[in-house]
């Protein structure tokens, strides 16, 4: 099976390494989806790294449910692309292999016929598609740390690299990720049908071991694409949405003014965290921070108005994600 880091919102070497190192095995349950609790992964990563988890700010905690909803929406969006016929074809392919291992040659041939029929139907129902999605898994890596703590870690990574201590650098770098990873297993239309069609003649000829090898080859053609959504960006977006509503409200109460100030302060923290983790390039982050400061100035003293957030929302909206033709590939 192959893994494609299809869309990774990073531009720096350190961030690219983060994207590679946090990968965990994908679910092999076709047609189903799974997710990982962010708190559990955060605790595991930080415990493994020998560091206590920093406490999330009260403001960050207050928007956690909305952030989780956004992460769930990303998963749901990908889940809706699953192709039932392709899922069944892969399940049947595995069944053929199991039946051959059990010595059930005739049963295997019947199941193979069904598998070929399912994949042909899947291709017919989805023309002009190169890959057919068959399963989705989501994982959340939530890093609770100050910008200063991350910068200290990065210095340790650099020092380890300079000393040639690659494994030390790898372990030190490993916790520095705060992201939602949506992994989608896909069936390659150009290769998979041809691969399983080669199995029948082998079974008929009594070449069972070769047939099993061909089936395994077909299953190994499945591809995993991973789309990475940085949590600092998701959190900042959620906070900006709430802050904009407050900023537009005339005659805000003292409590609302305090909430607006806290939200904008936390947005700036998330931008800085996204920058130091490599999810935001420095130039864009600086522009975002400048706009956040401008918003704070315009809303001081209970002032209100519309359009204050247009520029910063545009910066977030145009935040770059790698395109498909810039994908990174590696064999599992």
What tens digit of pLDDT does each residue of 160-216 get?
A: 999 999 999 999 998 899 999 999 999 999 999 999 999 999 999 999 999 999 999
Q: How many helices (H) and strands (E) does the chain have?
A: 15, 6
| C-alpha–C-alpha distance, residues 45 and 52, integer Å | 10
Rounded to whole angstroms, what are the CA distances from 84 to 29, 98, 168, 195?
13, 21, 44, 20
What tens digit of pLDDT does each residue of 301-317 get?
A: 999 999 999 999 999 88
* pTM recorded for the entire structure: 0.76
| C-alpha–C-alpha distance, residues 42 and 198, integer Å | 46
| C-alpha–C-alpha distance, residues 185 and 131, integer Å | 9
Length, in residues, of the chain: 332
* Mean of the per-residue pLDDT values of the chain: 82
* Banded pLDDT at 144 (limits 50, 70, 90): confident
Indicate the range of 31-40, 135-144, 202-211, 240-249 predicted with least confidence. Answer: 31-40
10's CB contacts (< 8 A; 6+ apart) are 16, 18, 19, 228, 278, 279
Q: Report the relative pairing of strands 179-188 and 328-331 from DSSP bridges.
A: unpaired
Beta bridge partners of 132: 187
* Banded pLDDT at 113 (limits 50, 70, 90): very high
CB atoms near residue 209 (< 10 Å): 10
Quick one: pLDDT at residue 13? 26
Share of the chain above pLDDT 90, in %: 68
Indicate the range of 21-35, 121-135, 215-229 predicted with least confidence. Answer: 21-35
Nearest to 71 by CA among 236, 226, 183, 181: 181
């Amino acid at each position: 099976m192959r893994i494609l880091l299809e869309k990774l919102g990073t531009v720096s070497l350190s961030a690219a390494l983060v994207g590679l190192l946090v990968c965990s095995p994908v679910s092999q349950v076709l047609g189903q989806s799974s997710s990982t609790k962010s708190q559990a992964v955060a605790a595991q990563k930080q415990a493994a790294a020998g560091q206590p988890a920093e406490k999330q700010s009260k403001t960050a905690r207050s928007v956690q449910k909305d952030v989780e909803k956004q992460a769930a929406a990303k998963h749901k969006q990908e889940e809706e692309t699953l192709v039932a016929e392709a899922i069944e074809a892969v399940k049947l392919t595995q069944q053929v292999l199991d039946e051959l291992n059990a010595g059930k040659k005739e049963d295997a041939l019947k199941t193979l016929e069904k598998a070929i029929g399912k994949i042909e139907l899947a291709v017919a129902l989805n023309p002009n598609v190169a890959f057919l999605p068959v399963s989705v898994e989501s994982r959340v890596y939530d890093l609770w740390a100050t910008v200063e703590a991350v910068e200290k870690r990065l210095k340790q990574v650099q020092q380890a690299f300079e000393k040639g201590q690659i494994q030390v650098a790898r372990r030190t770098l490993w916790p520095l990720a705060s992201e939602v990873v949506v992994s989608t297993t896909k069936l390659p239309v150009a290769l998979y049908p041809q691969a399983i069609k080669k199995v029948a003649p082998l079974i008929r000829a009594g070449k069972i071991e070769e047939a099993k090898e061909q089936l395994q080859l077909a299953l190994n053609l499945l591809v995993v694409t991973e789309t990475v959504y940085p949590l600092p960006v998701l959190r900042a977006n959620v906070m900006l949405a709430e802050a904009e509503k407050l900023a537009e409200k005339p005659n805000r109460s003292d409590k609302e003014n305090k909430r607006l100030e806290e939200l904008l302060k936390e947005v700036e923290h998330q931008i800085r965290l996204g920058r130091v983790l490599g999810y935001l390039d420095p130039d864009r982050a600086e522009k975002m921070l400048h706009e956040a400061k401008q918003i704070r100035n315009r809303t001081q003293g209970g002032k209100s108005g519309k359009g204050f957030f247009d520029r910063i929302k545009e910066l977030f909206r145009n935040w770059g994600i790698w395109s498909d033709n810039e994908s990174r590939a590696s064999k599992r």
